[in-house]
Amino acid sequence: MLKVTLVTPAGRGSRAGNRTTATRWARRLRELGCRVRLAGPEEAPTSWRFGSRPPDLLFALHAWRSHAAIRACREAFACPVVVVLTGTDVYRFQHSHPEAFLDSLDAADVLVGLHDCLEEDLPTRFHPRLRIVHQSALPLPPRAPGPKERAFEVLVAGHLREEKDSLRAALAARDLPPTSRLRVVQLGSACSDDWARAARDEMARNPRFRWLGDLPRWRVRRWMARSRLMVISSRMEGGANVVSEACVAGLPVVASDIPGNRGLLGEAYPGYFPVTDTEALRACLLRAEREASFVETLRRHVAARALLFRPEAERDALAGVLAICGL
């Protein structure tokens, strides 16, 4: 049985995207017959051993945050190394901490990206080692509640932080015509006291905005079922799983025009707006509220993308990574 250690910088109990990805991929790798150990940032390389044997393969999520683990594995074991590139890796730490970032990529036998436009921002020498694994999602329960008639609810799902430009939809919902039924519901924990204060201040001044904080997954899925639209306003994304979830749920998306969104929704997707452009986002939201045909067009596009995000497609892509590693 193939023994895999999967390293993630998000610790046990975290709801961060890296931990969610690691937990789901551990499940997929077990479906492929692997024995998987999930290792958080608190664990030392010597604890990665399976009894008296070292791992047969290391999966490391995040080139920069997992750099020490990648380097320790290379020094301690002879196993192949797979490095999974996140949004902050490619769009932040590649430029702010290039030495560690590039050292992790040089150490990798295979690089895994989560969206189809990643090559645009990766040095060309790494392109031959890059493979794309789209993150999967499950359909919503058949009896999930539908949208409410009295409001046009727009969902934003993700932790409040700079990379997500988290309050952009709330800002776009200010000063709308009195006849508008548009409401923005924000889910996710605040990554700092400043973000929590900003969200509370926005609620106090903006009656169209509600921040509900960090909710369990089943409640997030209920909000996806009752919402008319999802906004993904990120400044940078490595391939957000929430996009996969929206597509599989048939939930139309309005998204910032960045590689991480285009690499999941497709270049021809009609629901993009310029990043950080509040006025453009407001125009998209008002159009969605007023034009049922626009929303239906978005729905057809996300439904067409949903096949990319099936669990079996994710499992097959991971099997391909194992094959490249000779395992």
**Mind listing the pLDDT tens digit for each residue in 195-206?**
999 999 999 999
Count Cβ neighbours within 10 Å for each residue of 57-82 and write b for 16 or more, e otherwise. bbbbbbbbbbbebbbbbbeebebbbb
Rounded average pLDDT over 72-94? 92
Please report the DSSP string for 220-266 in residue order.
HHHHHHH-SEEEE--S--S--HHHHHHHHHT--EEEESSHHHHHHH-
Tokens of 235: 């400044």
Per-residue confidence (pLDDT) for residue 122, from 0 to 100: 95
Distance (Å) of CA 177 to CA 147, 203, 204, 278: 21, 18, 19, 16
Q: What is the mean pLDDT of the chain?
A: 93
Higher pLDDT, 31 or 47: 31
Q: Is the pLDDT of residue 162 over 60?
A: yes
Q: Which residues contact 312 (CB under 8 A, 6 or more apart)?
A: none
The confidence band for 9, taking pLDDT boundaries of 50, 70 and 90, is confident
Q: Is the pLDDT of residue 17 over 80?
A: no
Other beta carbons within 10 Å of 40:
15
Please name the amino acid found at residue 118: L
Q: Is the pLDDT of residue 327 over 80?
A: no
Please name the amino acid found at residue 24: R
Kindly report whether the global pTM for this prediction surpasses the value 0.75.
Answer: yes
The Cα–Cα gap between 240 and 135 comes to 8
